């Protein structure tokens, strides 16, 4: 297996990318998925701050990560990372994550860190709760931390309210807090540059209850009424 950047998607690679999303991404219908993937394709083609990295075996993509670099903020968004089910639990996700984080630090040697949007585990369905719990545990083992007091709202237009997420970070510096302004600027940039979401409602809701000094804490998973360190 090798991990490499894919700079110009071929039709075959785009179909492989689509199949990875089909097997791992929780979109409810194919039309919604195609809209999302076409947006990704356009960004990869037209925005040099957006990068696709692929784990490849036998000339086929078996995992991907998508990184958007905000050089002026000294931060990046790990937009998505996934490994197809048949190749999961082999350490490929960890290697993809480390490769992607190293790419950020290559682009920005003095970066603050790589941020991720992670669904909260407060859902009634036990299977979905377990999937979310395992995702949080996975990132915790990689040394990712959580931004305390940041109730991030995912700007994907679906029925109902925007989903509240954890905003977590793989730090590149030994720091214990980040300013409210830095995170507000980051969220605003993610909304506009990554999601092309230019309304102010979600940003206003997020910032309204955000502390002026955002502490960075160990990532934990909620279970059975208490917090469990992993």
Same domain assignment for residues 89 and 187 = no
Query: Quick one: pLDDT at residue 111?
Result: 97
pTM: 0.91
Same domain assignment for residues 98 and 139 = no
Query: Quick one: pLDDT at residue 22?
Result: 87
Of the candidates 53, 143, 54, the one whose C-alpha atom is nearest the C-alpha of residue 104 is 53
Domain boundary among 66, 91, 111: 111
Instruction: Give tens-digit pLDDT for 40-79.
Output: 999 999 999 999 999 999 999 999 999 999 999 999 999 9
CA-atom Rg of the chain in angstroms = 17
Same domain assignment for residues 167 and 141 = yes
Residue 217 reports pLDDT greater than 70? yes
**Which pLDDT band holds residue 36 (cuts at 50, 70, 90)?**
confident
Average pLDDT in the 10-29 region? 85
Instruction: Give tens-digit pLDDT for 116-174.
Output: 999 888 888 888 888 889 999 999 999 999 999 999 998 875 556 788 899 999 999 99
Which CATH number characterizes residue 13's domain?
A: 3.40.630.30
What residues make up the domain containing 59? Answer: 1-111
The pairs formed by 174-180 with CB atoms below 8 angstroms and a separation of 24 or more are: 175/112, 175/216, 176/215, 176/216, 177/213, 177/214, 177/215, 177/216, 178/112, 178/147, 178/214, 178/216, 179/212, 179/213, 179/214, 180/207, 180/210, 180/211, 180/212, 180/213, 180/214
Spatial separation of the C-alpha atoms in residues 177 and 66, rounded to whole Å: 26
Query: Quick one: pLDDT at residue 221?
Result: 63
Same domain assignment for residues 117 and 228 = yes
Same domain assignment for residues 87 and 131 = no
Average pLDDT in the 19-29 region? 78
Same domain assignment for residues 103 and 127 = no
Instruction: Give tens-digit pLDDT for 203-214.
Output: 999 899 899 999
Same domain assignment for residues 105 and 116 = no
Same domain assignment for residues 81 and 28 = yes
């Amino acid at each position: 297996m090798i991990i490499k950047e894919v700079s110009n998607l071929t039709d075959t690679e785009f179909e492989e990318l689509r199949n990875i999303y089909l097997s791992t991404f929780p979109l409810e219908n194919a039309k919604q998925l195609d809209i999302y993937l076409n947006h990704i394709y356009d960004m990869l083609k037209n925005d040099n701050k957006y990068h696709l990295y692929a784990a490849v075996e036998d000339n086929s993509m078996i995992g991907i990560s998508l990184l958007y670099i905000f050089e002026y903020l000294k931060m990046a968004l790990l937009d998505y990372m996934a490994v197809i089910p048949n190749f999961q639990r082999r350490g490929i996700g960890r290697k993809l994550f480390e490769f992607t984080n190293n790419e950020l630090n290559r682009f920005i040697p003095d970066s603050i860190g790589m941020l991720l949007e992670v669904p909260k585990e407060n859902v009634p369905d036990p299977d979905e709760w377990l999937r979310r719990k395992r995702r949080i545990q996975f990132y915790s083992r990689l040394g990712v931390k959580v931004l305390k007091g940041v109730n991030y709202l995912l700007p994907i237009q679906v029925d109902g309210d925007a989903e509240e997420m954890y905003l977590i970070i793989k730090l590149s510096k030994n720091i214990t807090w980040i300013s409210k302004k830095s995170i507000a600027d980051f969220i605003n940039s993610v909304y506009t540059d990554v999601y092309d979401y230019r309304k102010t409602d979600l940003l206003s809701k997020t910032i309204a209850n955000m502390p002026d000094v955002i502490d960075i804490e160990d990532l934990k998973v909620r279970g059975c009424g208490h917090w469990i360190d992993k």
